[in-house]
């Protein structure tokens, strides 16, 4: 599948590491004009060296006012990838207000805020657009110690459908990708025990986790015209886990 994003303005959140970083690299290689948004400046500096010409924005997306200042006048964006997230590990009975608020602020509230900024711009300019939320298969299935994180991802499913319904008349498509474990920094934080990791992998029909590239390919498909009639959907990148 040959994709071409030549000249299209794109914005990726959580661009410093992992899936977001590889999404920026792929979009840049396919000709998009990318704005990379993340929290650690050193990551953005090294990403700029790898992808000359990208624009970078360093901001804590969990901070509404700072995000408004940083992205309120970001300029035209036709393709948006809401990817930034944090994953606290807490048993349900030990969930704290601070962790709850922080996780919902970064994983969900910033997705709403950045989508509003970008979608208002698309509507103002009268251009079609595509928004992809990086969710998780835990939107559909539970794991220990992930109740807060999973709830943010479950809520993203509802926002995906609600946004698709309200933004569809403006030719803006909204979808999600829902991966299983990907062994990025985040995946390694969640899966520290090699024996648990081995058993979990064996529960996947394909006997593997997802690769970052698999997730990026699904994001690119949903951003592109190849998915022109798809909106309000989620693509599972779960090595068959939910089928088992
Ligand atoms: P990583 O932790 O490897 O990378 C996340 C990136 O998001 C980092 O660059 C991080 O910056 C940035 N980020 C986090 N919080 C903020 C914030 N408040 N403001 C700005 N940037 C922020 O995660 P992954 O690449 O693994 O995950 C990407 C997405 O994929 C997430 O939405 C995650 O939930 C989802 N996902 C991941 C899975 C996995 O197993 N890895 C499985 C299923 C879904 P910094 O490091 O500077 O904080």
**pLDDT (tens digit, 9 = 90+) per residue, 74-84?**
999 999 999 99
Does residue 17 form part of some domain? yes
Instruction: Tell the residue nearest (CA) to atom 6 of ligand 1.
Output: 14
Best residue among 15, 20, 69 to mutate for probing ligand 1, ranked by most atoms within 8 Å of CB: 20
pLDDT, averaged across the chain: 97
Ligand 1 centre from 14 Cα, in Å?
6
**pLDDT (tens digit, 9 = 90+) per residue, 40-75?**
999 999 999 999 999 999 999 999 999 999 999 999
Q: Is the CB of 187 under 6 A from ligand 1?
A: yes
Ligand 1 centre from 84 Cα, in Å?
5
Does residue 82 form part of some domain? yes
Task: Determine which one of 149, 159, 209, 241 is catalytic.
Answer: 149
Active site residue 170: no
Beta strands in the chain (DSSP E): 9-13, 33-38, 55-58, 79-82, 129-134, 172-179, 234-237
Which two three-digit tokens encode residue 122? Answer: 């698309």
Please say whether the beta carbons of 209 and 178 come within 8 A.
no
Instruction: Tell the residue nearest (CA) to atom 42 of ligand 1.
Output: 181
Number of domains in the chain: 1
Instruction: Tell the residue nearest (CA) to atom 30 of ligand 1.
Output: 134
Model ipTM?
A: 0.99
Instruction: Tell the residue nearest (CA) to atom 27 of ligand 1.
Output: 19
Does residue 2 form part of some domain? no
**pLDDT (tens digit, 9 = 90+) per residue, 186-238?**
999 999 999 999 999 999 999 999 999 999 999 999 999 999 999 999 999 99
pTM: 0.98
From the alpha carbon of 83, which atom of ligand 1 is closest? Answer: 32
Does residue 3 form part of some domain? no
CATH number of 33's domain: 3.40.50.720
Asked if the model's pLDDT at residue 146 lies above 80, the reply is yes
Domain residues for the domain of 111 are 9-243
Does residue 48 form part of some domain? yes
Residue 2 confidence class, pLDDT cut points 50, 70, 90: confident
């Amino acid at each position: 599948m040959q994709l071409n994003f030549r000249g299209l303005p794109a914005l990726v959140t959580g661009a410093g590491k992992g899936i977001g970083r590889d999404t920026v690299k792929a979009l840049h290689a396919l000709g998009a004009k990318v704005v990379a948004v993340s929290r650690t400046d050193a990551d953005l500096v090294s990403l700029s060296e790898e992808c000359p010409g990208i624009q970078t924005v360093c901001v804590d997306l969990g901070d509404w006012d700072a995000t408004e200042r940083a992205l309120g006048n970001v300029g035209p964006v036709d393709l948006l990838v809401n990817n930034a997230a944090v994953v606290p590990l807490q048993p349900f009975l030990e969930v704290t207000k601070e962790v709850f608020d922080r996780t919902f602020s970064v994983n969900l509230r910033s997705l709403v805020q950045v989508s509003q900024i970008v979608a208002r711009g698309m509507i103002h300019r009268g251009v079609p657009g595509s928004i992809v939320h990086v969710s998780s298969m835990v939107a559909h299935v539970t794991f220990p110690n992930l109740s807060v994180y999973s709830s943010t991802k479950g809520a993203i499913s509802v926002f995906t459908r609600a946004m698709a319904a309200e933004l569809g008349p403006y030719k803006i498509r909204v979808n999600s990708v829902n991966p299983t474990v990907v062994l990025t920094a985040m995946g390694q934080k969640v899966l520290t025990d090699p024996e648990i990791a081995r058993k979990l992998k064996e529960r996947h029909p394909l006997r593997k986790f997802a690769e970052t590239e698999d997730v990026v390919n699904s994001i690119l498909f949903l951003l592109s015209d190849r998915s022109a009639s798809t909106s309000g959907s989620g693509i599972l990148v779960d090595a068959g886990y939910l089928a088992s």
